[in-house]
Amino acid sequence: MKIERIIFRHVSMKLRTPFETSFGRSEARDCILIEIFSDDLVGYGECVADNDPGYSYETIQTAWHILRDFLAPAVLNHELGTVEDLRSRMSFVKGHPMAKAGLEMAVWDLLGKRDGRSLSEMIGGNKERVKVGVSVGLQESPDALVRVVTGYLEKGYGRIKIKIKPKRDVGDARAVRRSFPEILLQVDANSAYRLEDARTLLPLDELNLLLIEQPLAEDDLWDHRMLQKEFKTPICLDESILSARHARQALEMSACRVINIKAGRVGGMSEAVDIHNVCLSREVPVWCGGMLETGIGRSSNLALASLPGFILPGDISATERYYFEDITNEIFNLNSDSSIDVPIRPGLGVTINQSVLDRVTVNSIVLDAKKA
């Protein structure tokens, strides 16, 4: 398919409630929406880079630069028949996985629409609905946290993840565990600790947690290995795993026992599937992480989580957990068994609500093949 036009939009969506992690607090979620055009079809992609380099070094501005000045010129006016064609065209760019992943998502959507196949079908998914949980940000106090968690449990979420940071870790987790002795519970530190101070987390080992996510820095694979030795609870890596090669190395050195997979973090859906395969062949459980996506990215996450190795509930919540209104016409709802349906229509299987999209767009650029 010859790529005739690409549009990038910086989108800013107000969150229903602010989301706070060890690296900061946001009232709104910004992302780049990508549209690629070929043969009367449009493919949509979401680049999950945020305004601040708190989760990773990428930001909306760095991704915008890489997409506009390097990735778009590499594909505009060129034939793309497969995702592999795109990957080889993008491979001259080092790093910037979120920028690449956003463009790759748009190409998956376009090719799925061309072939009449859903993304889940294209990557080999085998589930119609996937188990999900909710990721709860830091709250004012342990009591406030318990109230927020109670609200999500009442809505039907069967797994809770709480964000932790130094001094807001064991106390918060204990408060939730005391109130709800039986729920599936896990914690996420977003790399807020160093090996030297991570021993303060040892009491978490008594709380029957599913996992402890990314306690140490993203480039600290070896120290995660040292820490895992001291915990019975599995350590799960998020920020540290940027490729299938990292996943293999992390498992070979026992740096973790679970991996959180996000297509945006690892450079795209193809690499995400490869990581899944590495883990599946070693019987290592994986789950689908989230980046507060719009309906575009949420659909892609549901397709990813439909692969057979995704046996732990994903951070893929219902639309209403994040936004008052979404840029897709399709709204994702929670089923009574704490699952969400995997989209079945071609590509991502979602359509755009143009009036909402126009309202949330703060900047856009149209690139045409003839001018490229």
Residue 68: its H or E element: none
- Nearest approach in angstroms of CB 314 to ligand OSB is 9
Contact between 319 and 295 under an 8 Å Cβ cutoff? The reply is: yes
Could you say whether residue 238 binds Mg ion (CB under 5 A)? yes
Residue 200: its H or E element: none
Contact between 300 and 108 under an 8 Å Cβ cutoff? The reply is: yes
Q: Which of 50, 169, 188, 274 binds Mg ion (CB under 5 A)?
A: 188
Site for ligand OSB in 38-57 (CB under 6 A): 55
Binding-site string for ligand OSB from residue 230 to residue 259, where x marks contact by CB under 6 A and - marks none? --------x---------------------
**Distance linking the first and last C-alpha atoms of the chain:** 17
Our CB check for ligand OSB shows the closer of 291 and 356 to be: 291
Q: Which of 241, 292, 327, 352 binds ligand OSB (CB under 6 A)?
A: 292
Using CB under 6 A as the binding criterion, the count of chain residues that bind ligand OSB stands at 11
The window from 165-173, 231-239, 332-340, 359-367 that contacts Mg ion (CB under 5 A) reads 231-239
Please confirm, yes or no, whether 262 is among the known catalytic residues: yes
Structure tokens at 217: 């820095």
Q: Nearest residue to Mg ion, using CB? A: 238
Q: How far apart, in whole angstroms, are the C-alpha atoms of residue 326 and residue 44?
A: 14
Residues 6+ positions from 353 with CB-CB distance below 8 Å? 325, 326, 327, 328, 329
Q: Is 299 helix (H, G, I), strand (E, B) or coil?
A: helix
Q: Nearest residue to ligand OSB, using CB? A: 290
Please confirm, yes or no, whether 161 is among the known catalytic residues: no
Could you say whether residue 330 binds Mg ion (CB under 5 A)? no
Q: Which of 38, 186, 190, 328 binds ligand OSB (CB under 6 A)?
A: 190
Contact between 303 and 342 under an 8 Å Cβ cutoff? The reply is: yes
Structure tokens at 139: 């709250």
Active site residues per annotation: 163, 262
Chain contacts with ligand OSB (rule: CB under 6 A): 55, 135, 188, 190, 238, 289-292, 315, 317
